[in-house]
């Protein structure tokens, strides 16, 4: 019983100390608000330092400018959640948080999106893994990324979203071709996502284009290899190949004059 009483006593005094500290803080704040002149408070809590962490692509100055802070803004008066929302208006910013460090500093932490795909829809756009259009893509920025052509009903712009299921399908096909799914040295140059759920794969120049279903690509390409072997022809002799049907493979040879 003595140990129990002693333990309860310690907890009581710890709780009392915290309560006293909290009360003192509240009282001190009220005294400051009442006794310290308003202009002095404004100067003391005026935001003088902004630190941005986590950004690589988006310039620090662009992130700070997106806050839209008025001159002489007070660190106490700003809405942190609202500031974070303004930062995330930039499509490159995936997440953002803003915190205070009294008396006069704001700490901004962000994480950025990275381009995963090039979407061709009238123009070329860099698109993130969650389907957000980041910007128009320059020739150098397209290198090494899957190139997917999609049909859109209206012009698209940075900040718009693309159906992520289409992107995942096209990216899977692109990766399979670039693992030499067809044959060594033959890669996909562009993949067009059709409205019926199938895909048109444009190979390297001088090669046919392929119509494929989204499922079991390797099985479809294996059937194509068997057809080529049976007919004794090569891919370069074909204009296009249709692999969408379970019971047949359709191949169209190049016209004779084009073969020559």
> Which pLDDT score, from 0 to 100, does residue 22 have?
65
Architecture of the domain made up of 115-259: 3-Layer(aba) Sandwich (3.40)
Phi/psi at 209 (5° precision): -95, 150
Alpha carbons 165 and 172: distance in angstroms, whole number: 11
- Give DSSP secondary structure letters for 118-156: EEEESEEEEEETTSBEEEEPPGGGGTTS-EEE---SS--
pLDDT at 37: 54
* Whole-number pLDDT of residue 260: 45
Residue 40 has a pLDDT of: 46
Q: What is the dihedral of CA 133, 139, 140, 144, to 10 degrees?
A: 70
| CATH number belonging to the domain at 45-112, selected among 3.10.20.310, 3.40.50.10860, 2.40.110.10, 1.20.140.10 | 3.10.20.310
Q: What is the mean pLDDT of each run of 10 residues along the chain (260 residues)?
A: 47 61 62 54 76 95 92 86 95 95 91 93 91 92 88 85 81 79 76 86 87 82 87 88 90 72
Domain coordinates of the chain in residue numbers? 1-35, 45-112, 115-259
Q: Give the angle 211-259-205 at the CA atoms, nearest 5°.
A: 50
């Amino acid at each position: 019983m003595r140990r129990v009483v002693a333990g309860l006593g310690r907890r009581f005094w710890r709780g009392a100390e915290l309560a006293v500290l909290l009360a003192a803080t509240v009282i001190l704040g009220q005294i400051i608000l009442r006794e310290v002149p308003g202009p002095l408070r404004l100067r003391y809590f005026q935001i003088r330092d902004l630190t941005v962490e986590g950004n690589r692509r988006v310039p620090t100055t662009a992130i700070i400018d997106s806050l839209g802070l008025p001159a002489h803004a007070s660190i106490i008066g700003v809405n942190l959640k609202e500031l974070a929302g303004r930062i995330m208006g930039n499509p490159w910013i995936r997440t953002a948080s803003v915190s205070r460090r009294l008396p006069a500093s704001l700490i901004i932490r962000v994480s950025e999106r990275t381009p995963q795909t090039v979407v061709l829809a009238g123009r070329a756009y860099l698109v993130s893994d969650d389907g957000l259009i980041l910007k128009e893509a320059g020739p150098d920025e397209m290198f090494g990324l899957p190139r997917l052509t999609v049909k859109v009903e209206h012009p698209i712009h940075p900040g718009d979203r693309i159906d992520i299921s289409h992107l995942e399908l096209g990216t899977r096909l692109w990766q399979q071709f670039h693992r030499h799914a067809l044959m060594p040295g033959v890669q996909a140059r562009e993949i067009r996502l059709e409205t019926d759920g199938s895909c048109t794969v444009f190979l390297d120049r001088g090669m046919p284009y392929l119509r494929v279903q989204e499922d079991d690509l390797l099985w479809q390409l294996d059937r194509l290899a068997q057809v080529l072997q049976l007919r004794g022809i090569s891919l370069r002799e074909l204009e296009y190949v249709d692999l969408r049907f379970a019971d047949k493979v359709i191949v169209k040879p190049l016209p004779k004059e084009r073969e020559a």
